[in-house]
Amino acid sequence: MRRTGLPPAHAAVFELKVGEVSAVISDNGGHYVYKVVSKEVLPLDQVKDEIHNKLKGERLKTMMDNYTNSHEAVTNDAYFGPAAPAGPAPRMRPRPPTPQFQPQGAAQPVAPPAANAPAQPAAQPPPPSKPN
């Protein structure tokens, strides 16, 4: 087990000597008792990538913190004008509805025929032309 494999509340386990048993550690996940069976120090070549990634992440976090805290927003009251007077807000008139966009070739809505309008006669085809 490595330090990164345990929650921070359980880190006291790494202070125990080989053969010692920890006190009961209680948290939301339950109750835990640890016994140290052995301890060993890993060689640098086995943990080199892990150290590199941890330092890289810490540097990135530091850079992002510096970036996000490097500026401050200041409002320009002259740009926004004086504060609005207290009281009821002016009422706005509603906008008339705007026509909806219909793509070319889409079916157009059919208007119902007027109730009192006379019916339109059907268009007559032109008479056949005479041969020369």
Distance CA 13, CA 5 (A): 12
Report which secondary-structure segment, H or E, holds 26. Answer: strand 25-27
Residue 14 pLDDT more than 60? yes
Measured between alpha carbons, how far is 51 from 14 in angstroms, rounded to an integer?
Answer: 19
The encoded tokens of residue 74 equal 């200041």
- pLDDT higher than 90, residue 107: no
CA 104 – CA 92 distance, rounded (Å): 35
Query: pTM for this structure?
Result: 0.39
pLDDT of residue 87: 73
Q: Summarize pLDDT for 29-45 with one digit per residue, the tens.
A: 899 999 999 888 889 99
Tokens of 120: 């339109």
Residue range 42-97, pLDDT digits in tens: 899 988 998 999 999 999 999 999 988 888 888 887 887 777 777 777 677 777 77
